[in-house]
Structure 1
Amino acid sequence: MIGLVLAAGAGRRLRPHTDSLPKALVPVGPAGIEGEPTVLDLTLGNFAEIGLTEAAVIVGYRKEAVHARKAALEEKYGLKLTLIDNDKAEEWNNAYSLWCGRDALKDGVILANGDTVHPVSVEKTLLAARDGVRRIILAVDTVKSLADEEMKVVVDPGLGVRRITKLMDPAEATGEYIGVTLIEGGAAEELAQALRTVWESDPQQFYEHGYQELINGGFRIDAAPIGDVSWVEIDNHDDLARGREIACQY
């Protein structure tokens, strides 16, 4: 199993920080200055802590900044990194971005969005949920109060995840998908096909629509509650401030 990070996004709501950097490389240290940890640093650190030795990073917007740091990141975290190019990063949404990493999925991956600050306990929870049967397991926050923007899920204890979408009454949701997934290699082909179906029908769709495509076709996707932990998806400047607070805890 390897790590996989989606780090191709432009993060336009974080300008001017993202004028020259992809969102995954915006510093999340307390001072927010060059040289402090980034979301990519924190995620690769988590991967290393759970014993992974390889990771792939899907790059696109300002990809040269990731290429420039590749050797230093490999040395710092003891990971062999492969950079995968998303040629549509500034035009299309992340269903296509994850599809670009379809070959990496065959190894089995822990997938992490490049804008999610979270503790290593999330990865450990996903690994603990492996049982040789479950093929895709989503990290889900069942504690947080939900609003309209969150990627919400409905989970049936006997059937797994039934719905995953932002377009849901928060009162109907079991919790929020936090952007971290364990994907077994045996699910790679079916997931790649679902992602292709999604982006071909509408290139602005999220990769989570690929999960829903699988579910609609009878594929079981499971969820693992992460417990009461601090995490944040960094979309805007308020999120970045929160991310800097949280990053100091780990």
Structure 2
Amino acid sequence: MIGLVLAAGAGRRLRPYTDTLPKALVPVGPEGQEESLTVLDLTLGNFAEVGLTEVAIVVGYRKEAVYERREALEAKYGVKITLIDNDKAEEWNNAYSLWCARDVLKQGVILANGDTVHPVSVERTLLAARGNGQKIILALDTVKNLADEEMKVVTADGQGVRRITKLMDPADATGEYIGVTLIEPEAAEQLAEALKTTFERDPDLYYEDGYQQLVDDGFTIDVAPIGDVAWVEIDNHDDLAKGRTIACRY
């Protein structure tokens, strides 16, 4: 199993940082030392802490910044990094971005969005949930109060995920998908097909819409509640401020 990071997005709501950097390289270090830490740093550190030695990163927007830092990141975290180019990063949404990593999925991955600040306990929770035939396990926050923007999930006992979408009444949701997934090798082919179906239907769709396609096709996607932990998806400057307060704890 290897680590996989989706880091191709532009993150336009985080300008001026993202004028020159992809979202995953926006600094989240403590005030006065912001440049010392990024979301990508935190994710690579988590992967290394749970014993992953190889990481693939899907890059697109301002990808040269990731290429420039690759060797330093490999040395810092003791991982081998493979970069996968997304040629449509500024045109299409991330269903296509994850599909670009379809060959990597065959190795089994822990997937992390490049904008999610979270503790290593999330990866540990996913790894601990393996072993009962699950092929895909989503990290789920069942504690947070939800609103319209969150990627909401509905589960059913013994059936796993039934719905995953932002377009849902928060009161109906079991919890929020935080952007971290464990994907076993056995799921790779079906997931790649579902992602392809999804972005061919509409290139603006999310990879979570690909998960919904799998569910609609009869595939079981499981969840692992992460407990009461601090995390944030960084979409805008308010999220970034929160991310900085969280990152310093980990």
Question: 1:127-182: per-residue Cα shift (whole Å, max 9, x none)?
Answer: 00001500000000000000000000001121001000000000000000000000
1:65 matched residue in structure 2? 65
Partner of 2:101: 101
Unpaired segments of 5 or more residues in structure 1?
Answer: none
Matches within 5 A, 1:24-173: 24-31=24-31, 35-173=35-173
Counterparts of 1:80 and 1:32 in 2: how far apart (Å)? Answer: 30
Q: Any idea what the Cα deviations from partners look like across 1:201-230, whole Å, max 9, x if unmatched? A: 100000000000000000000000000000
Deviation at 1:99, TM superposition (A): 0.3
**Counterpart Cα distance in 2 of 1:192 and 1:117:** 26
- The corresponding residue for 2:233 is 233
Partner of 2:11: 11
Question: Could you list the runs of 5+ residues in structure 2 that have no partner in the other structure?
Answer: none
Structure 1's 224 and 205: CA in aligned 2 closer, same or farther, altered over 3 A?
A: same
Amino acid paired to 1:40: L
| C-alpha contact (below 8 Å) 2:28/2:34 kept by paired residues | no
Distance 2:23 2:223 in 1: 27
Paired letter, 1:183: I
Shift, 1:35, TM fit: 3.4
Q: How many residues are matched?
A: 250
Q: Aligned residues: percent identity?
A: 78
Q: Distance in 2 between matches of 1:35 and 1:236?
A: 18
> Counterpart in 2 of 1:246?
246
Indicate conservation of the 8 Å contact 2:28/2:35, yes or no.
Answer: no
Distance apart, 1:34 and its partner CA: 5.8
Q: Letter of the 1:104 partner, please give it.
A: V
Question: 2: distance between equivalents of 1:35 and 1:55?
Answer: 22
> What displacement does 1:31 show?
2.1
- RMSD of aligned C-alpha atoms? 0.8
TM-score normalised over the length of structure 1: 0.99
Aligned partner letter, 1:111 = L
Q: Does 1:193 align with 2:193?
A: yes
Letter in 1 for 2:152: K
Normalising by structure 2, report the TM-score.
Answer: 0.99
In the TM superposition, residue 36 of structure 1 has moved relative to its aligned partner by 1.2
Post-superposition shift, 1:32?
Answer: 6.4
Separation of aligned partners in 1, 2:196 and 2:140:
25
Deviations 1:33-76 (A, max 9, x none): 56311000000000000000000000000000000000000000
Secondary structure at the counterpart of residue 35 of structure 1: helix
